[in-house]
Every structure is written in structure tokens, then in C-alpha cells.
């Protein structure tokens, strides 16, 4: 198993767009496995982008099986995903993020999206998603584009959460899984001292 530490949202790798795969090779398979192993280990996550675990490549995982209505849904690996169509109808729902511990805010996003991506069999797929899965996909594609969910908030709301974001940046708020701080320091759950 390759459980990777999750990177803090202020680490440079999460603040720039990822690199697309020119072909689906062994690296893509390894990252997909690392995404799955890491998300399986972290009990409260429903999606993970490659740059959240230190890879600057355009691949993500959506696994919403812990949500009752999606219990029979298979995990979804998307390589070089791109939203090609989004609905005019938007919904506001609360979001959190494994790279932004202990922060939950309401974000307005399109209710339905059409996404083009490739799977691990090098098959191009164009598929429509709606509801909760559409939201998770949009959140993870944002990561691949170097965008964090709090950047969708109004400037007023961002001012309200500024202190909490500063604590996250400094490593004063930590999750219960291994976490890489903005300066590259690795903090493991057994070494947390100041949460």
C-alpha cells in the first residue's frame, strides 16, 4: 500500500495547474493506486486530486461510496479531466477539503456538468454528472487547475475565515492524517502538538 501524506492548501503544488498526461503510462497507474490507497485510509474523504498528495499531474479520484445513496457507485479515476458543459442551474452546498482541515463553507456550483476525461484503459469518455458527484468532480478539477474551494467565496466571507486560514497555513490546525505544511515539513498524527 502507498498511503501518501496530504498537502496543505498553501503548499506551492496546490496553487498552480497540474501537467496533463501525454500518454497513460505506469506513472498514471501508480498515482491512481496512491490516490485510492490514501483516500481509503482517510475515512472522511470523497475525492482526491493528484497534487493533494504531491504529484503535479492531471489525475483525480472520486469515491463517494460512503454516502448512502451512492453506496454502490464505483470509484472513478479521471485523467486530464475537463468540464465541457455546465448547467445554468446552480446549487449551494457545504464543502470541505482534505487539504484545508476543519474548514467547511457553502459554495455555489453548477448542478450538472459534462466532463471529458480518459480512463486507465486509455479510453476517452464524455459523461454527464449531476448532484453530489458533479460537485465533487468540480471541486477536484479545481484542484488540478490550482483553485481552492474558498476562492469561490465572496470577499466578505473570505475575510470572515481569514484567521482560520492563517492557522491552517501555520500548521496550527492539523488533520488526523499525515500532512505536508507549506514549507515542506511533514507532520504525522503522532507528532501533533498544537491542535
Which positions are annotated as active-site residues? 140
Pairwise CA distance, residues 106 & 22, whole Å: 35
Beta bridge partners of 95: 105
CA distance 24 to 135: 26
List Cβ neighbours of 131 (8 Å cut-off, separation of 6 or more): 111
Q: Looking at the chain, which runs of residues are DSSP E strands?
A: 6-7, 47-49, 59-62, 76-86, 90-97, 100-110, 112-118, 124-130, 179-180, 186-187
Residue with C-alpha cell 445554468? Answer: 88
Amino acid at each position: 500500500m502507498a498511503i501518501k501524506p496530504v498537502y496543505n492548501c498553501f503548499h506551492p503544488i496546490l496553487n498552480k495547474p497540474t501537467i496533463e498526461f501525454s500518454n497513460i503510462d505506469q506513472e498514471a497507474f501508480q498515482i491512481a493506486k496512491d490516490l485510492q490507497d490514501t483516500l481509503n485510509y482517510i475515512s472522511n474523504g470523497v475525492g482526491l486530486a493528484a497534487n493533494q498528495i504531491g504529484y503535479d499531474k492531471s489525475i483525480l479520484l472520486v469515491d463517494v461510496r460512503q454516502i448512502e445513496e451512492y453506496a454502490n457507485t464505483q470509484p472513478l479515476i479521471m485523467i486530464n479531466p475537463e468540464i465541457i458543459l455546465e448547467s445554468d442551474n446552480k446549487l449551494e452546498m457545504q464543502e470541505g477539503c482534505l487539504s484545508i482541515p476543519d474548514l467547511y463553507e457553502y459554495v455555489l456550483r453548477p448542478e450538472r456538468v459534462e466532463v471529458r476525461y480518459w480512463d486507465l484503459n486509455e479510453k476517452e469518455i464524455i459523461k454527464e454528472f449531476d448532484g453530489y458527484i458533479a460537485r465533487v468532480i468540480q471541486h477536484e478539477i479545481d484542484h488540478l487547475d490550482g483553485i481552492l474551494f474558498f476562492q469561490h467565496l465572496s470577499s466578505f466571507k473570505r475575510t470572515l475565515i481569514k484567521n482560520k486560514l492563517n492557522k491552517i497555513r501555520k500548521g496550527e490546525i492539523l488533520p488526523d492524517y499525515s500532512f505536508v505544511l507549506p514549507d515542506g515539513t511533514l507532520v504525522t498524527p503522532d507528532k501533533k502538538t498544537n491542535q
